[in-house]
Amino acid sequence: MNNGFDLSGRTILVTGASSGIGARFGRTLSASGAKVILAARRRDKLEALQTEITEVGGQALAVSMDVADEGSVIAAFEEAEAEWGPIDGVIANAGRNANGHSLELSVEDFDGLMAVNLRGVFLTVREGARRMIKNQDPQKKSGRIVIVSSITAKKVTPGIPAYSASKAAVVQMGKVMALEWAKFGINVNMLLPGYIETDLTADSFKTDSGKMFLNSFPRRRLVELSELDGIINYLCADASSAITGAEFVVDDGQSI
């Protein structure tokens, strides 16, 4: 019996694919049979990941993309489609942080974060949807869009007001898009990971304050990147055909 998780025949673009969650998604989706377009600003990192994936039999293509720049987003989609044809999946994962309590956060840092985390998601997802609508048969209900948010959209955490706001905003924006695009056979869902062990976060949780924060979690641990594999495959697969406008929290109970 086919469990619906085979991604063969799908072409999926992943932003922020040069490291962390995005890079993991590139490996995971390609291992499930998808042709994966790796998009980010750091071309050297993307090409290294492309080589890694192709050497184990996967299909990957590196394209340069600055999600905050509409021209760059369009150019990346054009390059990918010229190489591989229509794209039927988009993972809007690119993001950045700006630490600082509300009284300290500069306008420049606030605007820079929103340009990537909110406008960047909008530009990426909209461009993907436009192309899906143009190229797809709506009866197949095959368009898949996943917006990567965060549990900070729900869990109030001091020191990251702009980041939290941006992650809450993309959840609501995604629900509106899900409603608007349902008639075109496009599913839009939101993934809200908890605190995850990556190269960028590992050291911070080794500090005294980081250890205290970690010990406040029900299982006193970080979510592992591999624990997102199942949900990202599901949301990109035929098995999720009836799922749209939904929020998926994967945080090991950290937000309880």
Q: How do beta strands 35-40 and 11-15 pair?
A: parallel
Q: What angle do CA 235, 255, 211 make, to 5 degrees?
A: 115
Each residue's pLDDT tens digit, 188-232: 999 999 999 877 677 788 888 889 989 999 999 999 999 999 999
pTM for the full model?
0.94
pLDDT of residue 2: 42
Q: What is the pLDDT of residue 16?
A: 96
**Domain extents in the chain:** 11-250
Distances (CA, A) of 184 to 115, 131, 142, 202, 236: 28, 11, 9, 41, 16
Which architecture, in CATH terms, is 11-250? 3-Layer(aba) Sandwich (3.40)
Residues with active-site annotation? 163
